[in-house]
Amino acid sequence: MSHTAEIIAVGTELLLGNIVNTNAQAISESLSTMGINVFWHTVVGDNPQRLREALEIARRRADILITTGGLGPTYDDLTKQTICAAFEKKLVLHPDILEDIRAFYEGALHVAMPENNTQQAELPEGCVVFDNPVGTAPGCAFASGGVHVLMLPGPPMEMETMLRRCAEPYLRGLSREVIVSHDIMTFGMGESSVDELLHEEMRHMENPTLATYAKPSEVRLRSTAKAETLEAAEAMLAPVVAQVRAALGDVVYGVDVAGLEEVCLRLLKERHLTLATAESCTGGRVAERLTALPGASSVYRGGVVSYWTQVKADVLGVPREILDQHGAVSEETARAMAEGARRITGADLAVSVTGVAGPDPDERGVPVGIVYIALATPDGTFCRKMDSGRRRRDRIQGLAANHAFDVIRRYLEGLPI
């Protein structure tokens, strides 16, 4: 049987934009692996009447309702009370849970438990209790009238812990299908161009499916299959992934990888090579993304953020005549920066980035969006010019960093740079 879920996030702070609803994303990703369809996300404030209305709508169109938030001890934490009223369930005090909450306050916080925490130990009669090892608010699940209701806490760490430990085992018992997805990551081709190449195939696919998602500076294609077993789903997906790779060629840089930097780190390790960076307009973004990955210290030697022209000359050794004749934003300077970084760090490879991120052209009139990326290697120095146009400053910087990793990736894979 196929199940349909609706996620209802409770909290006025979500509606005000004070916090981002990351819980819905985490739950949706979890449900997709269990073959449970998620067709609706709802956000409602800490208002019993509006929550009741949302519940009435949700129970008519979904057979699994998952709520987050509103399980705390304060006056506006009314999720349980409202849900129990909607489904005609009694709230019952659980003495063992109350003692656990009391012990948490007295043992971990060394204070007496406030009396209003008692309501956290009151749960729907006959429910399955979800333990909360990282907070005081337990969750729960019950079935009524063919609808399964799961209540999870709002704080993301508490919610995700309870989701993995309690909610997922409960939900796996409801579904006999699995949904498997693979993300095919690309760089170097826009979403419209990717769609044009694969439009007919995507339009006629039902199971598995294929869809494009534009990320900042790149395109992700997600192929998804639903089957009775993991093995059957994987068998359905294999030809789709192969078809996309054949159609898009070397703009595909990986499957189920987090980003270009992850691929570069793996390739550098496999080839026992080291890397250095010299960055101007990206302000250290290339180094930051690489060093955020575990194991980066085995390949990354170091880098220089040379925003000032004088630093390019004094630290990286860019010849003054190059800077005077061609300017800081030029192919010649990018090449000299990369070669200087390789020389002073002793790295096998060094990548450089210099450009104009805006909002104004540079002192020589080089327009916003022009960036040069160079890679110094034992085989010579390569350079790529990027023209992104007048985008937002942070978008230009992110795109330039992606180009830097793409240049590294293509060199290491023997592809045209």
pLDDT digits (tens, 9 = 90+) for 76-89: 779 999 999 999 99
Task: Tell whether 417 is covered by a domain.
Answer: no
Confidence of residue 163 (pLDDT cuts 50, 70, 90): very high
Which residues contact residue 166 at a Cβ distance below 8 angstroms, ignoring those fewer than 6 apart? 130, 131, 139
Task: Tell whether 307 is covered by a domain.
Answer: yes
- Domain boundary, last residue among 124, 157, 172: 172
Q: Are residues 300 and 393 in the same domain?
A: yes
Average pLDDT over residues 181-200: 91
pLDDT digits (tens, 9 = 90+) for 202-223: 888 989 999 898 876 789 999 9
Q: Are residues 17 and 39 in the same domain?
A: yes
Q: Are residues 146 and 53 in the same domain?
A: yes
Q: Are residues 243 and 344 in the same domain?
A: no
Read off the CATH number of the domain in which 288 is found. 3.90.950.20
Q: Which of the 8 DSSP states describes residue 308?
A: S
Read off the CATH number of the domain in which 211 is found. 3.30.70.2860
Question: Distance (Å, rounded) from C-alpha 356 to C-alpha 307?
Answer: 11
Whole-angstrom distance between the N-terminal and C-terminal Cα of the chain? Answer: 50
pLDDT digits (tens, 9 = 90+) for 85-121: 999 999 999 999 999 889 888 887 889 999 888 999 9
Q: Which two tokens stand for residue 308?
A: 């000032």
How far is C-alpha 204 from the chain's CA centre? Answer: 28
Q: Are residues 116 and 145 in the same domain?
A: yes
Q: Which two tokens stand for residue 184?
A: 């095919």
Average pLDDT over residues 18-38: 92
Average pLDDT over residues 297-318: 97
Give the number of other CB atoms < 10 A from CB of residue 325.
11
Question: Distance (Å, rounded) from C-alpha 413 to C-alpha 396?
Answer: 25
Domains in the chain: how many in total? 3
Rg of the chain in Å (alpha carbons): 27
Which residues contact residue 365 at a Cβ distance below 8 angstroms, ignoring those fewer than 6 apart? none
Tracing tokens 């490879």 back to the chain, one arrives at 349
The whole-model pTM stands at 0.79
Question: Distance (Å, rounded) from C-alpha 166 to C-alpha 172?
Answer: 10
Average pLDDT over residues 252-261: 96
Residue 21 in this model has a pLDDT that exceeds 70: yes
Q: Are residues 224 and 344 in the same domain?
A: no
- Domain boundary, last residue among 139, 172, 205: 172
Under a CB-based contact definition with an 8 Å cutoff, are residues 44 and 50 in contact? Answer: yes
Residue 297 in this model has a pLDDT that exceeds 80: yes
Task: Tell whether 313 is covered by a domain.
Answer: yes
Q: Are residues 87 and 155 in the same domain?
A: yes
Confidence of residue 126 (pLDDT cuts 50, 70, 90): very high
pLDDT digits (tens, 9 = 90+) for 31-79: 988 878 899 999 999 999 999 999 999 999 999 999 999 998 887 779 9
Q: Are residues 127 and 203 in the same domain?
A: no
At 213 the pLDDT is 86
State the average pLDDT for the chain: 94
Question: Distance (Å, rounded) from C-alpha 175 to C-alpha 171?
Answer: 7
pLDDT digits (tens, 9 = 90+) for 314-341: 999 999 999 999 999 999 999 999 999 9
Q: Which residues does residue 370 pair with via DSSP β-bridges, in sequence order?
A: 387
Per-residue burial over 47-60, b if 16 or more Cβ lie within 10 Å, else e, is bbeebbebbeebbe
3-class secondary structure for 353-378? EEECCCCCCCCCCCCCCEEEEEEEEC
Task: Tell whether 403 is covered by a domain.
Answer: yes
Length, in residues, of the chain = 417
- Domain boundary, last residue among 235, 255, 275: 255
Q: Are residues 161 and 283 in the same domain?
A: no
pLDDT digits (tens, 9 = 90+) for 60-69: 999 999 999 9
Question: Distance (Å, rounded) from C-alpha 339 to C-alpha 380?
Answer: 9
Q: Is 299 helix (H, G, I), strand (E, B) or coil?
A: coil
Read off the CATH number of the domain in which 62 is found. 3.40.980.10
Domain assignment of residue 288, given as a range? 260-412
Angle between helices 230-248 and 191-204 (to 10 degrees): 130
Of residues 356, 305, 361, 297, the one with CA closest to residue 330? 356
Q: Are residues 11 and 144 in the same domain?
A: yes
Q: Are residues 201 and 140 in the same domain?
A: no
Q: Are residues 152 and 135 in the same domain?
A: yes
At 1 the pLDDT is 63
Of residues 56, 55, 66, the one with CA closest to residue 4? 66
